[in-house]
Chain A
């Protein structure tokens, strides 16, 4: 079941919501219902891999109990817990088992259960006695496919709490879901129609077209992943859960470190807490700090994929970060000497463009099928760079015609406006404060934008989320 498909939206979700809220006075039953729903949802992808999920839940749950009594069993349980992830993720390439299909969400729920074991071992959290509550923490259906990665000490109390839902919660949940669908279906999936063939056969395209594809891919991956995050946040809200932010306008970042505070925040936070800090963080000298930075980016890269292109992507970001830190004081002195007023909006805009450019170059490696392809793609940008493609209609003769490009531009402008408001602290709930006609108009425009301009239906196979592959 896809979060954007009719079976999910018209059958599964309404039924589960009704049954779930029928028991609003009995949280224990609610959790059981939600857990059952989560397993049904997971089984819709593959019934076989339900066993992998179940095994992961049981190993980490029992592991937690034993680790609390004896810390020495932590490592064996961590290895046992991560074994399916390592097997499915690296078995393909390292053992040549190409037929292996990665269970959906394994990368995400493995991190959640592993962090639980560490937290129990470190006394940060108590071992969970209720298997249903713990299983729900691992398998919560809105987040199991691609996160956000939940921390046990934040999520388990939410699981145990008595749920309530207000009118505003329900409406804002729907609104957040709709906005996510808008990002995913109107922008990301439409851009994918343009970028996919160009990444595949870049040598056949003009440099300007390839550059356009690179820029659009940066927007695509953001809209795909943030769109997904909004959708699952909206769904979670309908069940009385409030997920923590996973994105905070990453392309508004003015530095690489700022970017990583805004992009996939739950993963960054997980890596910082369970990799960077245990390695010593920045407490063991500058050189060690830089090495630690490189390590977390390499771990992040390996988590995303096994190909060398992911390693290059991670290393690029690691080097960006290190160079940024190394040159920070020099740059400050330079701008001062040149009389640049770095507090001005124009300067902030320039920095944002610069960071966007750096991130875009790195995304090319992330998207390409291997390192030579990524290098060839980047080189192609400077080959026969004919700007005329933007003016003579060449661009519109590829996979997206002019009207679809207009839709993309308009939708990205809408996203920019929303991002601006979000950056200034506005949230979906604020829309509910608007006058009724404005409120209804906003919701209906969003709804029909998705229904009309969304990329879906039998002609398309765009239901997959990019991060569901990790």
Chain B
């Protein structure tokens, strides 16, 4: 009897260990794709009951909204939980998962995914919209509605799809485990930059009604019912796109559903307050670059602040990760910019300081920084600090060192090249200008660029040890 009991205990122990290892292997090998899997994985790391506004839906609910504007403007906490071209049935199950740990005060549902007419997404999106979920009944139900029967097994097990990634594992593959909190500073969104050529917006003035697929409509209504059951206010929304005429018929149908169910519907293609320009459109017709995303983010911040009671969490310890996120997004945005003019505009908007080091011939491109100060910048070689619309020269010691914002810097000039160091590793460059950007609010050097003397050469972002990753 003792032997039998001992064996049962050992067997249970062995199976538990094997199960645990299986979960670890799954989390390690699963594709770390931003378009569905990672946003769910990071969601699990968020502090319980901390998300006040939950954005859900397709990539439009992420790329097209710089949600940090909610935080910057009103201290509203948020999360962007999305998947690429996510159909409504996946969004429904994402929301079920989301409500397990959070009780958002508003759900902002992007309905672009409802336009897809097929019974299932393509195989890649079936995977990205299911593999991020934890093992649960909800995960099983999500799989069963997302893919034909013959794929259920591989989507449930996961490993058949991605086990051969063992040959391409990288650092990022070892960060999403049940106990991990390393990514809590992320909020589900990813910035893109670039400008689409020859953008022509088509009008969103059609009043025709195009039907949604029966499956999409069913799950859209289930989402509305789900939020109703849980007393979570839901807003259906459309973020700005280019080919509005082609989509408007579907949005009119969705608008009718909203009227029928008493759900607010925000179609930003028809909101004149969101002034999206061709330069705000990124490399494809469906997504906004960061400039455009900030406009929608700012608009939504105003909208949410005006229509819902959402607390200002700035300064609260539990919400520090939103502050970090906002900083990172700002710094990250700077590093996406490609010209001194764009840099100067962002620096002016955010009221950053700039350390400017000029050596040898310059092209004049750096004159964009003139807009930051009330007078023209000196045109000779040297080192200046631009702060609050004023410029002051930095006096270097005989060794070429100075202290700026409690940071030791050293600068040396030699034959047609110069070096600057903000911490320990100097960056050597040929003639030109180096501009280092300092965020006084958060007391951090956040970016630095080199503007070469050769006008044909592009502006280059530099790596500094003191800059946060």
Interface residues, chain A, with chain B CB atoms under 8 Å away:
6-7, 10, 167, 401, 403-404, 436, 440, 443-444, 447-448, 451-459
CA–CA, A447 to B20, complex, Å?
13
Using known A-B contacts A448-B21, A452-B166, determine if residue A436 contacts B10 with beta carbons closer than 8 Å. Answer: yes
Given A451-B22, A457-B164, A458-B154, 12 additional A-B pairs, CB 8 A: A6-B160, A7-B153, A10-B153, A167-B7, A436-B10, A448-B21, A448-B25, A451-B159, A451-B163, A452-B163, A456-B163, A457-B154
Closest B residue to A401 by CB, please name it.
Answer: B167
User: A440's contact among B14, B153, B154, by CB below 8 Å, is which?
Assistant: B14
Using known A-B contacts A6-B153, A7-B153, A10-B153, determine if residue A440 contacts B17 with beta carbons closer than 8 Å. Answer: yes
CA–CA, A436 to B160, complex, Å?
30
Q: Can you list 8 pairs linking A and B with CB atoms under 8 Å apart?
A: A6-B154, A444-B18, A451-B163, A453-B163, A453-B166, A457-B161, A458-B160, A458-B161
Closest A residue to B159 by CB, please name it.
Answer: A451
Closest A residue to B167 by CB, please name it.
Answer: A403
CB-CB < 8 A to A444: which residues of B?
A: 17-18, 21
CB-CB < 8 A to A440: which residues of B?
A: 14, 17
Closest A residue to B160 by CB, please name it.
Answer: A457
CA–CA, A73 to B386, complex, Å?
109
Q: Does B157 sit within 8 A of A, measured CB to CB?
A: yes
Q: Does B29 sit within 8 A of A, measured CB to CB?
A: yes
CA–CA, A440 to B151, complex, Å?
32
Using known A-B contacts A447-B18, A457-B154, determine if residue A404 contacts B163 with beta carbons closer than 8 Å. Answer: no
3 A-B pairs with the lowest CB-CB distances in the bound complex, closest first: A457-B160, A6-B153, A403-B167
Give the distance to chain A from B224, nearest Cβ to Cβ, in Å. Answer: 35
CB-CB < 8 A to A167: which residues of B?
A: 7
CB-CB < 8 A to A459: which residues of B?
A: 164
Which bracket fits the contact residues of B? 20 to 34
Closest A residue to B14 by CB, please name it.
Answer: A440
**Contact of B25 with A452 in the complex, beta carbons under 8 Å:** yes
Closest B residue to A459 by CB, please name it.
Answer: B164
Interface 1/0s, chain B 1-41, versus A by CB < 8 A? 00000010010001001100110010001000000000000
Q: How would you classify the secondary structure of chain A's contact residues: helix, strand, loop or mixed?
A: helix
Most-contacted residue by chain B among A6, A404, A443 (CB, 10 A): A6
Closest A residue to B3 by CB, please name it.
Answer: A167
Q: How would you classify the secondary structure of chain B's contact residues: helix, strand, loop or mixed?
A: helix
CA–CA, A451 to B29, complex, Å?
11
Give the distance to chain A from B24, nearest Cβ to Cβ, in Å. Answer: 10
CB-CB < 8 A to B25: which residues of A?
A: 448, 451-452
CA–CA, A7 to B10, complex, Å?
27
CB-CB < 8 A to A6: which residues of B?
A: 153-154, 157, 160
Closest B residue to A6 by CB, please name it.
Answer: B153
CB-CB < 8 A to A453: which residues of B?
A: 163, 166
Closest A residue to B156 by CB, please name it.
Answer: A6
CA–CA, A456 to B159, complex, Å?
9
Give the distance to chain A from B416, nearest Cβ to Cβ, in Å. Answer: 40
CA–CA, A406 to B151, complex, Å?
31
CA–CA, A453 to B21, complex, Å?
15
CB-CB < 8 A to A448: which residues of B?
A: 21, 25
Closest B residue to A7 by CB, please name it.
Answer: B153
Closest A residue to B24 by CB, please name it.
Answer: A448
Interface 1/0s, chain B 145-172, versus A by CB < 8 A? 0000001011001011101101100000
CA–CA, A93 to B161, complex, Å?
39
CB-CB < 8 A to B161: which residues of A?
A: 457-458
**Contact of B163 with A457 in the complex, beta carbons under 8 Å:** yes
CB-CB < 8 A to A452: which residues of B?
A: 25, 29, 159, 163, 166
CA–CA, A7 to B150, complex, Å?
10
CB-CB < 8 A to A447: which residues of B?
A: 18
Closest A residue to B10 by CB, please name it.
Answer: A436
CB-CB < 8 A to A458: which residues of B?
A: 123, 151, 154, 160-161
Give the distance to chain B from A272, nearest Cβ to Cβ, in Å. Answer: 42
**Contact of A454 with B163 in the complex, beta carbons under 8 Å:** yes
Give the distance to chain A from B363, nearest Cβ to Cβ, in Å. Answer: 44
**Contact of B160 with A456 in the complex, beta carbons under 8 Å:** yes
Closest B residue to A402 by CB, please name it.
Answer: B167
Give the distance to chain A from B174, nearest Cβ to Cβ, in Å. Answer: 15
CB-CB < 8 A to B7: which residues of A?
A: 167
Give the distance to chain A from B440, nearest Cβ to Cβ, in Å. Answer: 48
Closest A residue to B161 by CB, please name it.
Answer: A457
CA–CA, A10 to B161, complex, Å?
17
CA–CA, A167 to B163, complex, Å?
31
CB-CB < 8 A to A436: which residues of B?
A: 10
CA–CA, A167 to B7, complex, Å?
8
CB-CB < 8 A to A443: which residues of B?
A: 14
CB-CB < 8 A to B163: which residues of A?
A: 451-454, 456-457
CB-CB < 8 A to B29: which residues of A?
A: 452
**Contact of B18 with A404 in the complex, beta carbons under 8 Å:** no
Give the distance to chain A from B399, nearest Cβ to Cβ, in Å. Answer: 49
CB-CB < 8 A to B151: which residues of A?
A: 458
CA–CA, A155 to B153, complex, Å?
35
CB-CB < 8 A to A7: which residues of B?
A: 153
CA–CA, A178 to B166, complex, Å?
20
